[in-house]
């Protein structure tokens, strides 16, 4: 039987990636684009738990909320959980400028998801992918930092991959595979 689960996110790209993964678990994902107020915190788990509590006021379980951070090693983990603000205010070109002459370009994408599967009952999942920051903006797929993030083991940025390829190795692909196998056990 097809199970229906909501994903509370304003970001249609995140939704499309998650939906493609959960389909493989016979789960139909529905986007709830209702804006949810977010707290500022250095800790993705804290942000996600708050998001889940806010979403629970307006959405019925089972539902998922997720938050992503990009951590650039040589910039002391910048922009971290402030990825959205930094993307909008600085943009990719200025981030690359900040990294001029930096040879260690290691970075990590981290995603944390909360699955609220019954009234007031939730479970947290985390995933990450290591990679490097490209020297230039490359590729037309994806969104956000995809044109400058090269996952380890690849020579392509996420934006040079189609959605299925990105999902195979991305923080979100990994996260939603964990969430998918959990959901098939509890709903
Ligand atoms: P919701 O909170 O409504 O889910 P959001 O876009 O604010 O949507 P996040 O806080 O999780 O989502 O992500 C912050 C930003 O990080 C996002 O706006 C993108 O610029 C970037 N980002 C997140 N996931 C990404 C990915 O897979 N590839 C590239 N950039 C990503």
Which residues have C-beta within 8 Å of that of residue 89, sequence separation ≥ 6? none
- 167 phi and psi, to 5 degrees? -60, -30
Name the DSSP class of 60: P
Q: What separation in Å is there between the alpha carbon of 2 and the centre of ligand 1?
A: 28
CATH number at residue 114: 3.90.950.10
Domain that holds residue 182: 3-186
The string of pLDDT tens digits covering residues 118-134 is 999 999 999 999 999 99
Q: What is the pLDDT of residue 145?
A: 98
pLDDT digits (tens, 9 = 90+) for 138-164: 999 999 999 999 999 999 999 999 999
Distance CA 95, CA 18 (A): 27
Helix 12-23 and helix 171-186, axial crossing angle in degrees, nearest 10: 50
In testing the pocket of ligand 1, which one of 9, 11, 52 has its CB within 8 Å of the most ligand atoms? 11
Residue 146 Cα: closest atom of ligand 1: 29
Task: Pick from 8, 38, 68, 112 the residue to mutate for probing ligand 1's pocket: most ligand atoms within 8 Å of its CB.
Answer: 68
Write down the residue that tokens 């595979």 correspond to.
177
67 is known as an active-site residue: yes
Put simply, whether the predicted model's pTM sits higher than 0.85 gets the answer yes
**Torsion over CA of 156, 107, 23 and 11, rounded to 10 degrees?**
-100
Q: Are 172 and 14 in contact (CB under 8 A)?
A: yes
Q: What is the pLDDT of residue 1?
A: 65
Burial of 46 (C-beta count, 10 Å sphere; 0-12/13-18/19+) = middle
Ligand 1 centroid–CA 13 distance in Å is 9
pLDDT tens, 69-85? Answer: 999 999 999 999 999 99
- Closest among 53, 60, 68 to 15, alpha carbons compared: 68
Q: Which residue has the tokens 């249609």?
A: 12
The total domain count for the chain is 1
């Amino acid at each position: 039987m097809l199970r229906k689960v909501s994903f509370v996110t304003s970001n249609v790209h995140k939704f499309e990636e998650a939906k493609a993964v959960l389909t493989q678990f016979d789960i139909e994902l529905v986007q709830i684009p209702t804006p949810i107020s977010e707290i500022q915190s250095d800790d993705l788990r804290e942000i996600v738990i708050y998001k889940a509590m806010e979403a629970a006021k307006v959405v019925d379980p089972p539902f998922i909320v997720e938050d992503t951070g990009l951590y650039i090693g040589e910039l002391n983990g910048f922009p971290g959980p402030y990825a959205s603000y930094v993307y909008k205010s600085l943009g990719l070109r200025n981030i690359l400028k900040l990294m001029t002459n930096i040879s260690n370009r290691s970075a990590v994408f981290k995603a944390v998801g909360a699955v609220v599967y019954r009234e007031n009952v939730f479970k947290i999942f985390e995933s990450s992918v290591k990679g490097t920051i490209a020297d230039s903006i490359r590729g037309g797929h994806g969104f956000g930092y995809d044109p400058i993030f090269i996952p380890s083991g690849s020579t392509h940025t996420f934006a040079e991959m189609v959605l299925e390829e990105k999902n195979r190795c991305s923080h979100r692909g990994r996260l939603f595979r964990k969430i998918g196998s959990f959901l098939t056990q509890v709903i």
